[in-house]
Amino acid sequence: MRIIIFLLAIITVTILFGCKSSNTGTVEISNHTQSVEGEAEILHSWNGDYPVVQLNLLPENQREQAVGFISDAKIFESLWKAFKPGEEVPEIDFEANLVLFACNTQFYNRISIGKVNLKDGVAEVLAMETMSAIPIEDKVGMSLVMVSRTGIKSVRTPYGLVSIYD
């Protein structure tokens, strides 16, 4: 019972502090690119289960990571067909937008991206997930969000920054 109360307290604190808006609303123009500070607006989001055998459809240098991005329509289409079979692939203008993802890497948990912070051209994905000790076998929890590319140069992952231009 103490463990459940402790976990609920952690989740509550995470929600209270993790979802607090920090959007400064500042836009700086330099070298013909916009630098946006604050919170990137989530234009659309999708959550669900993703088959482990299809993780190879993620961008090659991001397959083992809990956080990453998709900047290519063909990669997104393949990933979508595995993620939401039978559903129409959303039309995304990848010149203007980017799809960020978060997925389980150790245990199966429901996961949801709640916020994307942007500072100095670095997008940082803030996601919440349930806590379990269920081993990953045939599926992982995955969350996708579409955000504007404006001001984003790289995405912070647990292994460091990944440039969106590579």
Q: What's the pTM value of the predicted model, to 2 decimals?
A: 0.78
pLDDT per position as a tens digit, 68-77: 999 999 999 9
Arithmetic mean of pLDDT over the chain: 83
115 has a pLDDT exceeding 60: yes
Number of domain units in the chain: 1
DSSP E strand boundaries for the chain: 27-30, 33-36, 38-40, 42-51, 67-70, 97-103, 111-119, 122-129, 139-148, 154-157, 160-163
pLDDT per position as a tens digit, 125-157: 999 999 998 999 999 999 999 999 999 999 999
Q: What is the band of 2 on the pLDDT scale with cuts at 50, 70, 90?
A: very low
pLDDT per position as a tens digit, 42-84: 999 999 999 999 999 999 889 889 999 999 999 999 999 999 9
Q: Residue 14: its pLDDT value, please?
A: 38
Domain residue limits at 17? 2-163
**Closest CA relative to residue 139, chosen from 98, 111, 97:** 111
Q: Residue 92: its pLDDT value, please?
A: 97
Q: Please give the backbone phi and psi of residue 20, each rounded to the nearest 5 degrees, phi first.
A: -70, 130
Q: Residue 129: its pLDDT value, please?
A: 93
98 has a pLDDT exceeding 90: yes
Scan for tokens 């307290």, then name that residue: 9
119 has a pLDDT exceeding 60: yes
3-class SS of residue 165: coil
Q: Residue 36: its pLDDT value, please?
A: 61
Q: What one-character-per-residue DSSP string does 65-92 give? A: -SEEEE--HHHHHHHHHHHSTTSPPPP-
